[in-house]
Amino acid sequence: MFEFVNVPVPVDRVQEVYKLLASQSSNPVSGPQVTDNGYPEGWSQSMIERMYVESSSAMRRILSSIAGCAPAWVTIAEIAKASGLTHRQVIASLGPFEKRIRGRYGMNRWPFEKREFVDAGVRKYSMSEGTAQGIVSLASEVAAHEDHTID
């Protein structure tokens, strides 16, 4: 489903806007942008694995909930519901996560996209299918390992 934004345009330029909208988009925004390896710029499978393993259980649940909806865009409320966390817990987990991404991994971007949908007044998150598959696989491995160590 498309989301729309109302943009004031001078009357004498409306035809230019229509022409632009009718042209083929050179940069589609249907999902997160990824490189040939299937991950966001600078990320690799080993970096994703390290990031996931070093994440708190709350952040792992957040990552898994975004991955479970990939490549769709999800809100914090949707992430909270899917992860079993409160809205506040999701927000509280994302701050330290961003600092860790920059400090520990030296990355300028998250392993998933974050975008402001100003017209709707929300921030949404989306993960590439490649990254999502890696996260889902890691979540399964970690869960199996934790179940095995409890026995």
Query: pLDDT tens, 88-139?
Result: 999 999 999 999 999 999 998 899 999 988 887 889 999 999 899 999 999 9
pTM, two decimal places = 0.73
Helix (H) or strand (E) holding 61: helix 57-69
> Is it the case that residue 26 has pLDDT exceeding 60?
no
Q: Taking a C-beta distance cutoff of 8 angstroms, is the pair 40, 113 a contact?
A: yes
- Is 30 buried (19+), middle (13-18) or exposed (0-12) by CB count in 10 A? exposed
Q: Which fold has domain 41-150?
A: Arc Repressor Mutant, subunit A (1.10.10)
Amino acid 11 reads: V
Sorting pLDDT into bands at 50, 70 and 90, what band is 28? very low
* Residues whose CB is less than 8 angstroms from the CB of residue 141 and which lie 6 or more positions away in sequence, other chains included: none
**pLDDT value of position 149:** 61
**pLDDT value of position 14:** 82
| Domain ranges for the chain | 41-150
Sorting pLDDT into bands at 50, 70 and 90, what band is 1? very low
